[in-house]
Structure 1
């Protein structure tokens, strides 16, 4: 069963136990968690969240089936350096709908990696996971994440005012969605060649 996908510059691999250390280090940073409703996290908090995904992946691989959730580590293809993580987390009560998430470590910001991760998740969701819908959200102040979602084809679907309390301030939550029928076959065919 396949566990890794590549682009010309990145690898996306199912999360494994060895990935917890760099993910924990990333999510302990104030800068990385600035716009998130969680964090900075202790290693224990990060381990508690990610360990069930790691265990699920290991079991799915043993049983030669796809996991229910798709959590990936992003690494530099040439060097193997840790860059971040991204995920498609299955929505409860809506088989085929997933929540999109991504965190990129600070040294790799402003290089288009967030956009490439979102593009990978769109491709994986509709080509591999059989999704019918993707859901995403971000704080209104996180212009970088808004741009990533817009470039990925996500459609704005709403605004929840003062939804999160982050860093001593209330933040509006912006909701985005993408349906399978909104992604052109030609685009998916191009992405088939990109993510070998």
Structure 2
């Protein structure tokens, strides 16, 4: 199975243990974790979460199987500079439905990388995996994340009031969804042209 994809000036690759120090540094930052329900994390906390996912991915790939979880490291195509990470995690009891996630290092904000990362997840879920539904959520006040999903075609499906407790406060959770059938065949085809083998 393919391990890396290029879209615009970014490279998306299946996450490896080699990527964990940079992911750990990113998720130790207050700025990055401001709207997350977790973090800032210690390096040990980040490793304990990501390492089992990485091991499952590597085992599946070594056996020629499609991994259950899809966690990608995002880097600049030419320099290899770390940008962030994104993921598709399967929804229990709903084959073909995935939860999306993306975090970008604060040094890479406001460059359109969040939208490109979300677009990559849409492409991968619907074109590579043949999924039928994507699920996303964010804190109501995180307007940047909301805009990313809206630009990628996600529809707001609900609000859960005071769902998350973080940083001493309670935050509403805004729920988004996108169905493969929401996208015209031409758009899915264009997504396939946007991301190529690395």
Give the TM-score normalised by structure 1: 0.98
Question: Is residue 193 from structure 1 mapped to residue 193 from structure 2 by the alignment?
Answer: yes
Partner of 2:100: 100
Aligned pairs for 1:25-104 (under 5 A) are 25-104=25-104
Show CA shifts across 1:28-54 (max 9, x none): 000000000000000111001101111
Aligned pairs for 1:1-196 (under 5 A) are 1-196=1-196
Following TM superposition, the consecutive aligned residue runs of length 4 or more in structure 1 with deviations greater than 3 angstroms are: none
Show CA shifts across 1:105-153 (max 9, x none): 0000011100000000001000011111100000000000000010010
Gaps of 5+ in 2: none
Give the TM-score normalised by structure 2: 0.97
In the alignment, the residues of structure 2 paired with residue 105 and residue 194 of structure 1 have an alpha-carbon distance, to the nearest angstrom, of 23
In the alignment, the residues of structure 2 paired with residue 140 and residue 180 of structure 1 have an alpha-carbon distance, to the nearest angstrom, of 25
Alignment root-mean-square deviation, CA:
0.7
SS in 2 for 1:144: helix
